[in-house]
Structure 1
Amino acid sequence: MDLRWTRIGVARHALRVVVPIGLMLAASLGVPAGAATVTGVTVDARAITIRFDDAVSAASCALLPRPDRIAVDVSGLDAGAAPAVAGLASEMSETAGPDGTTRLVFQLARPQEVTDGQFERGGRTLVLSLRPVDQAGFAAAAATSHLDFFPFSFGNHPHPLPRARAVATIPAVATSIKLPRVQGDESRPLVVIDAGHGGFDPGAISAETGLREKDVTLKIAQAIRDELLRSGRVRVALTRDDDRYLVLRERFGIARRLHADLFISIHCDSVGAGEASGASVYTLSEIASDKEAARLALRENKADVISGVNLDDAPADVSSILIDLTQRETMNSSAEFAKLLGREGHDLVPMKPNFHRMASLMVLKAPDMPSILFETGYISNPRDAAFLDSDEGRERIAQSIRRAVEVHFARRIAMK
């Protein structure tokens, strides 16, 4: 998935861009294709700031106990001589990390939890926000915390991509999108499947074959729809059933307007180098949900924040509490479904060992609808790409979704 493409502000203004998303775009943005190195690290009571001499493509972090450490895995980074650090981190090391990344490990002087992170300077600086915790809090966070970060830039790729040059205009968010067709028994819960990317946004592209993420995700979404309809347990709708572009808020906005009971966004992962493979499932991170809840609570028109509840006349503190409670329940339900998908699909789809991840992804930010983003595999890995673009691979992915969906709604019925 290249969600960095979808993070550009397109709600109000049209931008002219050059496709493909690869070296031509990266070059137009001033993003070089070589691997970066760490040029400096600053650690204080509130943040770890890592500076690079070039843009990196992505990063993730996790907490490592006994001794207390923060591990940051960076894609597009060459390991070099680690700069000296002081303060809360007594030492930093650089080693080879998983999936072709470089791992930066910070030895902590006292327990600290990473609460959020963001890229700055187009992927040349990564800032991790810190919060002091006790030993028990650090251990608990280490067991569950895994955050992923994506820079604003379009990223790097080591080889030119086999794509023709084309010019397109990104449209503004449509005020009224025609809702897609819903198929299935009206008495059944509704699952909305979102095929990532589309139109002039191809998503990730295989450097070897030219296989485009937007084509793969559409075929997978259609296979999932057909499998779910055959089961007869749910109704199904696709956000797109053809090659069209949708802004992120339009995607989960369609699902909310249909009053969907579950939203599943389908993507393919990609890295510029290395043999990374396997599927993963993303749900919204707790910090991201806090920020979104605050944003929603401040909206002037709060009639549609929570489906079925008009908060226009509610006091600000009441609105904030109701939104927070709703979103917490939604996050819990999303996480439960992610775990179900990992359990039900492990014998059908190659999964990463740490398949469940959390990130601040726009497409997951509906406050009242369980939502996941399913990274079905790496389009940059020839083995994964062949699986994703095969009839057997699509059937296996669809079966894994169907199994998880059946258990998910059976549990919900049993709880009523």
Structure 2
Amino acid sequence: MSMLLSIITSLFFSPQSWAAQLSNVVIDNESVTIEFDDVVNQASSFYLANPNRIVVDVSGANMGKIGSKDGALGALRVGQYDPNTARIVLDLANPAILTRGGFSSDGRKLQLFFGSAATDQFFGALKQSRMNFIPPFNFRADKPKKYEVSAPILPADSKGKLPKIYGPNDTSLPLVVIDAGHGGHDPGAISKFGGGHKEKNVTLAIAKAIRDELISTGRVRVALTRDDDSFIVLQDRYGIARKMDADLFISVHADAAGNESASGATVYTLSEVASDREAQRLAARENKSDIISGLNLGGADSSVSSILIDLTQRETMNVSADFARIFLREAGPNVPLRSNSHRFASFVVLKSPDVPSILLETGYLTNDKDVAFLTSAAGKKAIATSMADAVRAHFARRIAAK
């Protein structure tokens, strides 16, 4: 009996003995793309000086057959830090900082974006904590232990509480959940203009401005996924909106680009291809027991549940796209917009199957005029007013259509 218990324990709780291989590394002028032949656990980055380097550790990976590579950013080397961690070191040709990054939807590609930095800005980055990058939930090498049923929606110190709802005490009014991107140890993009504004602070200030403007209308209730400098994983951000039965989800971000002339706001909604894949994953993950828009999937087989989720999400995508167009119409005279300002992408925070969702890139922190606009009282007011007008028009149309 004790031997059997030992075997079971080792199967469920022993460290992982296998790892993915690095299969390719691509370096261009502003990014490094690291590809794997299988899923990994996570990655983290930090800075070293003399010489100036950026180090990326990938947990659950081996170095594979990747050797040294050179690019515009500098020389890249790959080694094995420990049996379960591949280490990638980028020797910088000039001071640079990591502005943003993330895994692909299947967890097999990590793309990191860099921006040029002044020497003092690079040395300031040396003092920062590691920046962490986590693959999508279903594409991590280490799956949750068998006894784990769910993860808390909020960080542990929140004791699982959902955010405060602002506005009228009338549950018949629509609920809008606003998500300020990044936070905590994840600063997002960092601007070299205006004293080094961090995306996490810019987005929080704009999210609060939108909240206040929406509350002033008296027509909606509002919640923020975060109202301080805290970190929330991507799935939990839209998970909060779903758990609160929100009617609209707005994720606020600020963009970055290697070209400093890039400017203007962009609105993203979920692409149809991403919807199909996410519907299948959701059906499997929820084990047919979730309730989507009032449809209990517990009695349906896998093919039927996938179809039901897909149909629900297609309708959600259409509503999201309609709202994006309304916002761009309202923002046009007041907020600088990028050309082709409504785009489609597979952002994780947009993948709620039953809550219409948009991701608003408010502008570029790599553009001095955008930075001045986004951090000014007038700029935040313009974005907030445009959003409030769009929300009012959106729900008026939804009510009229019933």
Name the TM tier (shorter chain): 0.5 to 0.7
Aligned residue in 2 for 1:179: 162
Distance 1:253 1:413 in 2: 25
Q: Is the 8 A contact 1:199 1:245 kept in 2?
A: yes
Aligned residue in 2 for 1:288: 274
Measured against aligned partners, the alpha-carbon deviations of 1:54-82 in whole angstroms (never above 9, x if no partner) come to: x9xxxxxxxxxxxxxxxxxxxxxxxxxxx
Among candidates 167, 172, 180, match of residue 129 of structure 2:
167
Among candidates 236, 250, 266, match of residue 222 of structure 2:
236
Measured against aligned partners, the alpha-carbon deviations of 1:257-277 in whole angstroms (never above 9, x if no partner) come to: 000000000000111233000
1:194 aligns with 2:179: yes
Alignment of 1:18-167 (within 5 A): 18=46, 26=54, 28=56, 34=72, 152-160=110-118, 161=121, 163-165=124-126, 166-167=128-129
Distance 2:166 2:53 in 1: 39
| CA 1:31–1:271: 2 relative to 1, 3 Å | farther
Aligned length: 301
Amino acid at match of 1:207: K
Aligned residue in 1 for 2:382: 396
Structure 1 vs Structure 2 CA RMSD: 3.4
Q: Is the 8 A contact 1:195 1:221 kept in 2?
A: yes
Deviation, structure 1 residue 168? 4.4
Distance 2:258 2:214 in 1: 34
Alignment of 1:290-305 (within 5 A): 290-304=276-290
Q: Is the 8 A contact 1:327 1:367 kept in 2?
A: yes
Among candidates 315, 318, 324, match of residue 301 of structure 2:
315
Normalized against structure 2, the TM-score is what? 0.67
Distance 1:120 1:329 in 2: 24
Distance 1:340 1:302 in 2: 35
Aligned residue in 2 for 1:204: 189
- Higher relative contact order by CA 8 Å / sep ≥ 6: 1 or 2? 1
Deviation, structure 1 residue 176? 4.3
| CA 1:170–1:401: 2 relative to 1, 3 Å | same
Distance 1:154 1:32 in 2: 16
Q: Is the 8 A contact 1:180 1:238 kept in 2?
A: yes
Distance 1:199 1:377 in 2: 21
Amino acid at match of 1:157: G
Measured against aligned partners, the alpha-carbon deviations of 1:235-259 in whole angstroms (never above 9, x if no partner) come to: 0000000000010001000111000
Aligned residue for 2:299, secondary structure, equals coil
Distance 1:164 1:352 in 2: 30
Deviation, structure 1 residue 12? 10
Distance 2:234 2:107 in 1: 23
Unaligned ranges ≥5, structure 1: 37-54, 56-117, 123-150
Unaligned ranges ≥5, structure 2: 1-29, 58-67, 75-89, 91-103, 138-150, 155-160
Distance 2:46 2:176 in 1: 34
Q: Which runs of 4+ in 1 moved over 3 A?
A: 11-17, 23-33, 118-122, 160-164, 168-174
Aligned residue in 1 for 2:232: 246
